[in-house]
Structure 1
Amino acid sequence: MRVLVKGAGVAGLTAAFELAVRGAAVTVVETRHGLGGNASWFAGGMLAPWCERESAEQPVLDLGRDAADWWDDALPGQVTRAGTLVLAAPRDTGELDRFATRTSGHRRVDDDEIAVLEPDLAGRFRRGLLFPDEAHLDPRQAIAALHEKLATMGVKFHFGCDARPISGFARRIDCMGMAAADDRLRGVRGEMLILRTPDVSLSRPVRLLHPRFPLYAVPRTDHRFMIGATMIESQSAGPVTARSMMELLGAAHALHPAFGEAEIVETGVGVRPAFPDNLPRVETDGEIIAINGFYRHGFLLAPAMARQAADLVFSQDRTKEHAHETDGQRRGA
């Protein structure tokens, strides 16, 4: 079966992988001239279904709890399984208690255990929550590695390409995100920073709760940290605003003062597609299957959505084969 996948973000690449491992001949087309620049490129890469349940519906936990295993199987060595640490300043411990009541899969930690988990945060926080079964990855490394692996599996890629003139495919998978022709989608703008400082070391993503501006810091290689992120109801992909920059930097400084002297390596904005209920969809329209609406859960939910899409592709194919065989039996009769 020949399948065309439109879009080389996390949705398109995971769908291509699920299809390829099941034996489909897959071609991926992307209007951009290379990997990157889309919402996936500016993601945090946190595989944190229990933490996300604090503000998300139950399906996010149900669909995302196996994401770390999927990424580990697809790209061995890309996933760090060190859990997530959620902290709050002493004046904001009410936020920590509220977070705990809305989530599961955690245990409370005191200042002594926080110092063991993250020595550079010793003495700064009295209480926290550890989600030991969560994980994280570097989205850019994961996207590049998945692209390389797909190429070795025979998946064909065409960048800077419009899919409209391409024909000869049994199925088409639309993973175009905000570029999809779907007026139900809205954009949710997420702004992020990448800071570099050798004076802070973290072993896992740390979420700092604040009643107005919560923050997460995700460790990367080379003393870099992804600091994010805003959630603004906007489809504007313009540069990071001064207000957001100040709030992100202020929250990072509250986590550790050394971030005040960090280099600002990069700022970025990703516009994340979301349906009204903030839950993703896998939908069919004739020969087209659409995957969209990941909101802030792209790397967490893409594997489950990719599996659903691949199941649909092959179940539809079996249905057509059965109908063809039955029709042939009738003609033979």
Structure 2
Amino acid sequence: MRRATVMGGGVAGLCVATELVARGCEVTVFDPAARPGPHSCSWWAGGMLAPFCEGETAEEPVVRLGKEAADWWAQQGVAVARRGTIVVTLGRDRRELDRFARRTDGHEMLDAAALARLEPDLGGRFDRALHVSAEGHLDPRAALIHLRERLGRAGVAFVAEPGRPDGLTFDCRGLVARDKLPDLRGVKGEMAVLHCPDIRLSRPVRLLHPRFPLYVVPRAGGLFMLGATQIESDDRRPSVRSVLELLSAAYALNPAFGEAELVEIGVDARPAFPDNLPRLRRQGNTIHVNGLFRHGFLLAPSLARMAVEAACDGTKPEFWHEDHD
């Protein structure tokens, strides 16, 4: 049985460990925290599995590989809602919806009546919308906890220490890995969680706006995740301006959000390379899996599969970089 070390217990590290276990490897995961939680960038994710919508600004591989994500998560026993994504815009920004439609695929245009049938609580508020039916979403915190517990039952050892490379190693430490990957940068993202039982949504809603686009992701118990800003910074302090923009956009989507309880404000810095595409970089016996940017839950399954294939089968997959002494 081959032994492997994984450094980092966020979404990338847990996905890599899952792929290694499927290959029959003996795996040890090192992470300073004993369990998934607020220390991890993955904890603050939206959990949207929305490759078509990401195609508005992302490169082709993000769309292509992101289409694998929903099936992968479901195969691991994670609850994946596959009801699509709704995209809307305020009346004064109508051209934003047309621009979005031109830049993306996989959608159909809805009139006001069709939108009201899909999402009654948006009825009468928008005269048209896009429905991207093939997309899905999950609760990222529940997904992380599920993978962690599933791996533990499979015999994976979790050690609450930073760890160090030992034999075959997969470094999935996010921004912490800048000690080995100096071209990583942080992209700050802020989010909020609201409790608003007066609103019911069955799928994520994206509100397009030229300055502060918003997505709202429904979670259980009347909770909604609002995100997310994108600021070139690795500062992890929430800003009043960004939070106000998120809340104002939510109010514009439906004024009932004005009566919601503000449950949580979160912020973290996503690891990204200069081109916003991920990297699989080999340095000796260590394979770095990093640079997932804003696509952690969308791309981690594919990156994990490719990283493990490279280690076990000797392939040179997409995004592969190899450092030579």
TM-score by structure 2 length?
0.94
Residue number in structure 1 paired with 2:57: 55
Do residues 124 (structure 1) and 90 (structure 2) align? no
Hey, what's the Cα distance between the residues in 1 that align with 2:278 and 2:173? 13
Give the corresponding residue for 1:186: 185
Letter in 1 for 2:232: E
Which of structure 1's runs of 4+ aligned residues deviate more than 4 A? none
Answer yes or no: is the 8 Å Cα contact 2:84–2:203 preserved in 1.
yes
Which one of 171, 178, 193 corresponds to residue 168 of structure 2? 171
Displacement of 1:98 in angstroms is 0.3
Deviation at 1:204, TM superposition (A): 0.2
2:158 aligns with 157
Task: Indicate yes or no: 2:88 matched with 1:87.
Answer: yes
Q: Distance in 1 between matches of 2:314 and 2:109?
A: 47
**2:239 maps to which residue?**
241
Aligned residue in 1 for 2:312: 314
Supply the distance in 2 between the matched residues of 1:45 and 1:191 (Cα, whole angstroms): 14
The 2-side partners of 1:282 and 1:128 are apart by 38
Q: For residue 163 of structure 2, what is the amino acid of its counterpart?
A: A
Do 2:172 and 2:288's aligned partners in 1 also have CA atoms closer than 8 Å?
yes
User: Does structure 1 residue 3 correspond to structure 2 residue 4?
Assistant: yes
Q: What amino acid is the match of 1:254?
A: A
- The offset of 1:34, in angstroms, is 2.7
Aligned match of 1:205? 204
C-alpha distance after superposition, 1:29-56 (max 9, x if no partner): 1023431221100000000000000011
Distance 1:23 1:156, change over 3 A: same
Distance, in Å, in 1 between the alignment partners of 2:210 and 2:314 is 48
1:305 aligns with one of 303, 306, 315: 303
Map residues 216-231 of structure 1 onto 2, 5 A cutoff. Answer: 216-231=215-230
Aligned AA for 2:213? P
What is the alpha-carbon distance in structure 2 between the residues aligned to residue 2 and residue 99 of structure 1?
Answer: 46
What is the Cα deviation at residue 162 of structure 1? Answer: 2.4
* Alignment deviations for residues 155-176 of structure 1 (CA, whole Å, 9 cap, x no partner): 11112x0213x74xx3000000
Which digits, 9 at most, give the CA deviation of each residue in 1:273-316, with x for residues without a partner? 00011001111111000000000000000000000011011024
1:173 aligned partner, one-letter code: F
Q: Distance in 2 between matches of 1:18 and 1:24?
A: 9
Q: Distance in 1 between matches of 2:261 and 2:105?
A: 36
The answer to whether residue 26 in structure 2 is matched with residue 25 in structure 1 is yes
Distance 2:313 2:35 in 1: 32
Q: What is the distance in 1 between the residues matched to 2:68 and 2:306? A: 14
Aligned to 1:326: none
Residue deviations 1:211-241, cap 9 Å, x none? 1110000000110000001000001112x21
Matched, 1:285 2:287: no
**How big is each residue's C-alpha offset from its partner over 1:123-166, in whole Å with a ceiling of 9 and x where there is no partner?**
0001111100000000000000010111111111112x0213x7
Q: Separation in 2 of the partners of 1:153 and 1:109?
A: 46
Moved more, 307-316 or 273-282: 307-316
CA distance in 2, matches of 1:25, 1:316: 19
CA distance in 1, matches of 2:314, 2:25: 13
2:71 and 2:314 map into 1 onto residues whose CA distance is 27
2:56/2:104 contact within 8 Å kept: yes
Query: May I ask how many residue pairs the two structures share in their alignment?
Result: 311
Q: Is there any run of 5+ residues in structure 2 with no aligned partner, and where?
A: 316-325
Distance 1:290 1:273 in 2: 12
**CA offsets 1:73-119 (integer angstroms, 9 cap, x no match):** 1125x100000000011111100000000000111111001101100
> Contact 2:54/2:62 (CA < 8 Å) preserved in 1?
yes
C-alpha contact (below 8 Å) 2:192/2:226 kept by paired residues: yes
Q: Given residue 20 of structure 1, which amino acid in structure 2 is its aligned partner?
A: V
Instruction: Give the percent of matched residue pairs that are identical in Structure 1 and Structure 2.
Output: 54
Does the aligned pair in 1 maintain the 2:49–2:135 contact within 8 Å? yes
Deviation sequence 1:237-293 (CA, Å, 0-9, x none): 12x211011101100000100101100000000210000110011111110000000
Residue ranges of structure 1 left out of the alignment (5+ in a row): 318-333
The corresponding residue for 2:43 is 41
**What CA RMSD, in Å, does the superposition of the two structures yield over aligned residues?**
1.1
